[in-house]
Amino acid sequence: MRDNPHNTNIKNQNMCQDLQKRVAELKLMASDLTKFSEDEVRKIISSILPQIPLFICDFEKGRIIERAVSNNSLENLHTNVERLSFKPADLNDKLQRASIINDTMFYGSVLFLGNKEINYERIIGSFEACGLLRENEDGDEIMSFGQWTVIDQISFVTIIDPLKKYKNEYLKTLQEQQNKYFSQSIKESSCLEIILDFHSFLADEFSKDVNKAENHNYLISSVTANIFKTHGYGVYYPSVQIMGEGMCVAIPPGMTSRIILEKILVCKISKRGKSIEISNQKIAILKDKTNEIIYFDVQ
């Protein structure tokens, strides 16, 4: 984990007051995002981000990321690596947590050390990507879980609420390191309060539990992630669906050459009331020198 390489531009009290005004304007927009366009939101966010410190987390070679993708059935599994990667931008017709319309991200899940409750990335991925679990519906769903390994460093803007009282030790450590950097970067206490308030607001936007019919409520988080993307950063944030007991990443498609697919597991997720079962169905290998996937039944 490290701080961001750019120097914040707040140099006097007038700039602090201007930043506070812009943050207040963005918060007002957030109260009803149906009234504002992507361009209007982008203009405000783009005026705020150069003024504030960001906290960056680097994933080094060897870090594991798992991506969950839904299948229609066991008889209709995805047969190429591209389908287990990011969704094509031209098929993305709705706002998502970290991607705008007609754009895309590689969404994945990661574990953090010391988690005694969750031992497998696919538990995080299941709750994030499985329609049954997201919508709390009974039934069965087939999911493919691709295990990707980082082969070249990826840098993420880390979204951690500086004011929240986290129970998880990893999140508390991350928050302490982030807040220490913020306080070292901004000497004026009134300005620091504004910046902490903004980062708390941004964390709330990235942790919204959004109804599938109200995707407009992703406008601020998706535009912010898109701005990070244009500067060569992904986004690293606590999983919403399992209440911060794991982490999620959003990786720009242009950076997916830095990860490689190494393992594939197909599971059936069954939900009946409060009972949830994840059962292994198939494993897969990648055919040499091609992106073709070959499946085998789990014995």
Tens digit of pLDDT at every position of the chain (299 positions): 455 544 455 556 788 899 999 999 999 999 999 999 999 999 999 999 999 999 999 999 999 999 999 887 888 888 888 888 998 999 999 999 999 999 999 999 987 755 554 456 777 777 788 888 877 889 999 999 999 999 999 999 999 999 999 988 889 999 999 999 999 988 787 899 999 999 999 999 999 989 888 999 999 999 999 999 999 999 999 988 776 678 899 999 999 999 999 999 999 999 999 898 989 999 998 877 667 888 999 87
Q: Whose CA is closest to 128, among 97, 104, 103, 85? A: 97
Q: How far apart are CA 153 and CA 156, in angstroms?
A: 10
pLDDT at 194: 94
Other beta carbons less than 10 A from residue 167's beta carbon: 10
pLDDT at 83: 84
- The kind and range of the H/E element at 128 are helix 121-129
Q: Whose CA is closest to 235, among 89, 110, 102, 69? A: 110
Q: How far apart are CA 226 and CA 174, in angstroms?
A: 23
The answer to whether the CB of 285 falls within 8 A of the CB of 262 is no
Residue with tokens 């206490």: 189
Beta bridge partners of residue 259, listed in sequence order? 150
pLDDT at 261: 93
pLDDT at 54: 96
| Residue 200, helix vs strand vs coil | helix
Main-chain phi, psi angles of 162, to 5 degrees: -75, -10
Non-local CB neighbours of 78 within 8 Å, separated by 6+ positions: 69, 71, 84, 144, 293
